Amino acid sequence: MNNSSPVLLVTPPFTQLNTPYPSMMYLKGFLNTREIPAVQVDLSLEVILAIFSSRGLTELFNTAGEHPLSKNGKRVYALRKEYIRTIDGVIAFLQGRNRTSAYSICEEGFLPRAGRFEQVEDTEWAFGVLGMDDKARYLATLYLEDLSDFLKETVDENFGFSRYAEHLGRSASSFDGLATELEKPLSFTDKYLVKLLSEKIEAYRPDIVAVTIPFPGNLYSALRCGEWVKKHYPGVKVAMGGGFANTELRSLTDIRFFEFTDYLLLDDGELPLLRLIQHLRGEVDESGLVRTFMVRDGKVVYQDNTTGGMIPQGDVGVPDYSGLLLDRYISVIEMVNPMHKLWSDGRWNKLTLAHGCYWGKCSFCDGTLDYIRRYEPNEVATIVDRVEQVMAQTGEGGFHFVDEAAPPVLLREMALEILRRRLTVVWWGNIRFERTFTSDLCRLLKASGCIAVSGGVEVASERVLALINKGVTLPQLIRTTHHFTCAGIMVHTYLMYGFPTETTRETIDSQEVVRQMFEQGLIQSGFWHRFAMTAHSPVGQAPERYDTRVTEPPFRGFARNDVAFEDLKGGDHERLGNGLSSSLYNYMRGVGFDLPLQKWFDFKIPSPSVPSHFVEQQMEERETVEDSLIRRLYWIGGEVELGAEIVKKGKNVVVLHDSVQDVSLKMQKESAYFIHDILNRVGIDHREPYLLKDLCRDYEAVIHEDFLPFWYSKEMQMIREYGLLLL
């Protein structure tokens, strides 16, 4: 094969509309370090832009006119001229261009409206009078969903913006369903997909096409891509991998899958793809392949040469966004919730702080797989270097750290380094609600640009938390969320119900704790998930230890992840889902706190056993000086200066220059000089550690007074509030 031909990295339909999925940028960045030419294309975005255009909708309505229509479909079809007239302007607005069209979009008669608008939420409550841009984005999203419903009804039953033909890949033990679907003629969406793919192949002339399959909703279109390449470009090799393959296809034996690809790569793609490229270019033989499925002698075989080890995180390179249409991603608002808005609105650069999970012990999680099991943090300097390099490349200062759980110590050091370099960034990521996230650490993270965190509350039951092996207690969880929200950081929670042996009362108790946490303002967003047993989790590996019985049929050669099971001791959770979701929806809107939990269910539930003020009582945690003596002092506030001396009273004024206002504190002259010197000594640019015990020692040596009254004085509490942290 030609060593100068590039590798074509493909993201198939459909993932997020607002930002590129990170896997291909990561791989391109790595290939850059090995001087291997590579180009990338996000067909997930480009197919959407092609279909949702005046030309695409014209073709859609011309084709759809031949199909029988529902009442809602007839309305959309009757308004086809309005859709064709408005679509290009709406897409431009959602791309951040044509911003003044928000005024028109918010007017009731501008956008054609069908079924989705019948459930429109209270936009005045959600966006207020001045939030016109967000309101327009929300209405434009409903408009696109109406068109999506019409497309699905008429020309492509599998269509979905982020879940394209998802049902075909979810827990598909057999390949039969996919094979049947792939034997059908190309769908309306498929035709756009293969047309764009062919254009890229003709433009770049790759010798390898690598296709990622991050989710079940990408599987069908990934196979369509592979099928098209193998049929029309037989000299080009196809490789697939990604999150779906890593979790679902580890036991693959069905040879039919390889009618659509030549190779399937598992886990981190850097080393397997490098070895495959080297093999196809004659540099290593087949025995050197790593974590690679292929067909040999009519059977699926797996080759994994482990002698080369793993590629260190410091050597994987900087994610490379070049070649992507960064100014054409679409920011939508699917739910009127500030935390959900982060997933679908705005263009976020993706980075990883550490490989794997530093905890990695949760019994429901895929802890046996490499992406969880192998923990390897990056160096702080490397992380912030990458932040700067990606900002320079994309022109965007927003970052989503996509770790399984961002390590608190690494977050602390990254935040300090961001502040030292005077970077202006906005970031968010996934964390564990553990005691390490003190009030002061959360304030530091906020100062460095953190706007939100998401994490697993899972269940609000100490017994079930212990079964899950979450590593946190309920009081810790409550206090940590309190610390984040007090710092001005939004909190999204993942909630779980139906864990093995969990009783109905325990679930209702969890619901009551969640209600109280919303009422106290500790969390702003959440989502209830029904527990799913996965094959690679401790529960799935040993279900009998959790009083469950596996009921799934024999494996049929394709995908295996979700495991069907029977809970032998737990409650009947099948009926609880709607009530849990309904209550949560209202709590996120700030209503329904005064309603008894029974109101959310149409059947009798047990009364919660959680005290009505449980969360409020757990929120306060006063840490003593003795507990903090070995913590380091940092001043992250503004400039500090000594003001005028008050001669008659023997006092001085210490002035704190805050970004909002100047604060003047009157202190005894000696104490004023002392604290002025200390605050200048413990700024973030000073590397020499200075601990609270050092402050205590120096104060008593210099001032000759007891330290505790000074530390708890009103003036010192004000200084702490304005930027003196203990970390």
Is pLDDT above 60 for 639?
yes
Out of 53-62, 74-83, 444-453, 621-630, least confident range: 621-630
Q: What is the mean pLDDT of residues 344-349?
A: 85
The average confidence (pLDDT) of the chain is: 92
Spatial CB neighbours of 686, under 8 Å, sequence gap ≥ 6: none
Report d(CA 269, CA 259) in Å as an integer: 21
CATH architecture of 330-616: Alpha-Beta Horseshoe (3.80)
Cβ–Cβ < 8 Å for 495, 471: no
Closest to 656 measured CA to CA, from 646, 668, 669, 666: 666
The reported pLDDT for the residue numbered 130 is 45
Q: What is the mean pLDDT of residues 32-47?
A: 96
Report d(CA 19, CA 45) in Å as an integer: 9
Q: What is the dihedral of CA 29, 33, 37, 39, to 10 degrees?
A: 0
pLDDT tens sequence across 202-226: 999 999 999 999 999 999 999 999 9
Report d(CA 43, CA 197) in Å as an integer: 8
| DSSP E strand stretches across 568-727 | 633-635, 640-646, 651-657, 662-668, 724-726
Domain segments of the chain as ranges: 7-44+164-315, 50-154, 330-616, 625-726
Position 257 confidence tier, pLDDT thresholds 50, 70, 90 = very high
Higher pLDDT, 115 or 383: 383
The reported pLDDT for the residue numbered 553 is 84
Position 121 confidence tier, pLDDT thresholds 50, 70, 90 = low
- Residues β-bridged to residue 173: none
The tokens of 72 are what?
Answer: 């809602």
Spatial CB neighbours of 295, under 8 Å, sequence gap ≥ 6: 255, 258, 301
Is pLDDT above 60 for 229?
yes
The tokens of 266 are what?
Answer: 């598992």
Report d(CA 584, CA 574) in Å as an integer: 17
Number of residues assigned to the chain: 727
pLDDT tens sequence across 438-493: 999 999 999 999 999 999 888 888 899 999 999 989 999 999 999 999 999 999 99
Cβ–Cβ < 8 Å for 5, 207: yes
The reported pLDDT for the residue numbered 73 is 94
Q: Do 7-44+164-315 and 330-616 share a fold?
A: no
Position 120 confidence tier, pLDDT thresholds 50, 70, 90 = low
CATH of domain 7-44+164-315: 3.40.50.2300
Spatial CB neighbours of 650, under 8 Å, sequence gap ≥ 6: 668, 669
pLDDT tens sequence across 499-554: 999 999 999 999 999 999 999 999 999 999 999 999 999 999 999 999 999 998 88
Cβ–Cβ < 8 Å for 385, 327: no
**Number of neighbouring beta carbons within 10 Å of residue 466:** 12
Position 162 confidence tier, pLDDT thresholds 50, 70, 90 = confident
**Percent of the chain surpassing pLDDT 70:** 97
Is pLDDT above 60 for 128?
no
Q: What is the mean pLDDT of residues 42-60?
A: 97
Higher pLDDT, 577 or 172: 577
Query: Considering all CA atoms of the chain, what is the largest pairwise distance in Å, rounded to the nearest integer?
Result: 98
Closest to 231 measured CA to CA, from 204, 253, 201: 201
pTM above 0.85, yes or no: yes
**β-pairing verdict for 349-351 and 398-401:** parallel
